[in-house]
Amino acid sequence: MHNEIIETLPEEVKEQYLYEIEQLKFTKDFRSSTAEEWFLFLPSYKEPKSDGAFGKAIVHYDLMGTKEITINTSIIIEDPKLFDREHHVLIYLIGDEVINRIVGFANTLLTVYAGENSYKAEYKS
């Protein structure tokens, strides 16, 4: 028996994802001592009115004692092109990348607001 790797991501989605993620940029705005707001920038997607960030991530640190921390993260997509169902895989991949870069997959509850592509996920460390 030989090990065979099966690629489940369509090539065009993979290429688009890699192109976007290579150029993913963030700016950070502290909101309080337990919350942050990050503006998210991709080359192909923009907020239509201001031509700015395609979305933002709001990270809230829920401190439960000295050892237990749960992170609640909301990603709000502002570019309506990303609301189309054809982009649902791209939205999941971008959500994972944002979580990985901002909170590093710590215990995190994630909610993504992206029209039809909205979803919730939980990451456990």
pLDDT digits (tens, 9 = 90+) for 64-118: 666 677 889 999 999 999 999 988 988 998 999 999 998 886 788 999 999 999 9
Nearest-Å Rg of the Cα atoms of the chain is 16
Residue 100: is it exposed, middle or buried by C-beta count within 10 angstroms (0-12/13-18/19+)?
Answer: exposed
63 has a pLDDT exceeding 80? no
Question: What pLDDT score was predicted for residue 113?
Answer: 97
Cβ atoms of residues 105 and 123 within 8 Å: yes
pLDDT digits (tens, 9 = 90+) for 1-50: 567 766 677 888 888 888 988 999 999 987 787 899 999 999 999 999 99
Q: Which residues are paired to 59 by β-bridges?
A: 36, 73
Q: Can you tell me the distance from the alpha carbon of 19 to that of 43, in angstroms, rounded to the nearest whole number?
A: 9
Question: What pLDDT score was predicted for residue 65?
Answer: 65
Question: What pLDDT score was predicted for residue 23?
Answer: 92
Q: For 102-117, b where at least 16 C-beta lie within 10 A, e where not — what string?
A: bbeeeebebebebeeb
Question: What pLDDT score was predicted for residue 66?
Answer: 61
| H-run or E-run covering 77 | strand 68-77
Q: Can you tell me the distance from the alpha carbon of 45 to that of 70, in angstroms, rounded to the nearest whole number?
A: 30
